Structure 1
Amino acid sequence: MCSVRATVILLFLCALASTVFAEGPTEQTTVLTTDTFEVFDNLATNEFTQRGEIRVLQNETALYQPVASKYAQQLADIGEQELSAELYYTVILRSQNSGARHVLSVKRCRLNGEKKADETFVLHETEGGSVFRADYDAGKGSNCLKSPLADTPSFATKALVKSRVRGPTPELAIAASIDASTGKEKQPEPQKGFLAKYWYYLIPIVLLLMFSGEEPQQEGNARH
């Protein structure tokens, strides 16, 4: 009895092992990139220098990758800065597909005392997959109570993608009809019955049936 049980267990283990080895390693699927945004900031100097890029993927996710200093570039043709670099930390995203730019800012004091500040990019997509708006947050509001920023911090970056969702179509109510003489809402007219609605269709049909029934009788009487 024990030998039979051992044989069954051995066969089961052999079948399980053959199934696992037959499947082999799973192939990794590559997710295509829909757009790449170059990330520029004015933290180190008054000029906007690239510090990374955000890849927007087809599966509604995004990946941030820092750029090495030797590959960094400066953003030209930014025009006049509306926000002072002393008061605001500004990030500019530039799309490699369309060249569109998104200017994002937070108070610079939110980075005070941070060696590695948390930051979050939220990219809002249309139904077609293009980014139409971006939101940004970095540091902490409580850091504004600390001493001014001395060292240049690094960032722990998180990038999110949110797709625009079409909401349900509202059912519009019928506008109220106001009686000009009284200023009150007019009461809806009572619904008419079937005969009241379609009497002008029924009368010709009834008359046609009446006259079509008398003609055969007249012909029959004439024969007699």
Structure 2
Amino acid sequence: MYEDIVGKSLSFVSSRNDFEEVELNIESVRTKRGYTLDLEHSVDENTFAARGEVNIDFAPAKPTATFPTKLVLNEQQRNAFHKLVNHGGLYTIRARSEPGNPNSPFVVASVPACFLMKARFREDLAFHVNEVGYLISMEFRAPYVDINTCKDVAKRVLKEANFYSTGNIFGAADGPEVPRTAMASVKVAAPPGVTPVRSENEPETEEQPSFFRKYWYIIVPLMLVLLQGGTEAPAQGGAGAAPARR
């Protein structure tokens, strides 16, 4: 995706995250110290407008994200933002993934408008970058607010909306490796009374013969012997007949 990824010269990790540290190649970053992201925001879920800048600085031992100007919503924006809160809408920001490249894709982040209003517009943004410093994702780190509390927040009169913004830089961490060999499927017997579902390509299972059908050639002779009493028939005339007199 990105070219000219060469030697590594700086590693960092934030003390307020659960992400692994990443090494950045400062020589491949657009400027030797960092760059400026032009942020846009949407307060009505339809259109985006310029919001301000955030300066990404890789020079310190711990890279920083600072906001040179404070965001203050005007009356029209406050009304639109209040409608977002009433409708359970999202406040959304976006920025280009490569600074200075208008053809690079947007990176987008959203947060329920209620969360920001409840926090009195104190926002903590996380900027995730890759090995060469380009933006790959953003996120709002705001406290969770339940539905009932949001309903109470929506009843408030929004007289002013002054944002207090802080930011942190995070590196991308490698995800778990995908197994190269497919795991063998294990068939589990269906519970009693439940007909198992068979896929279209699965061959039909042969019905197991019953015990009688399997061993009929042994059972039938044995039953005949038992029905005959287990003895041979007596000779004609009877073995117990009296001898003839002379």
| Structures share fold, TM-score greater than 0.5 | no
TM tier, smaller:
0.3 to 0.5
- Higher share of residues assigned helix: 1
TM-score, normalised by the number of residues in structure 2: 0.41
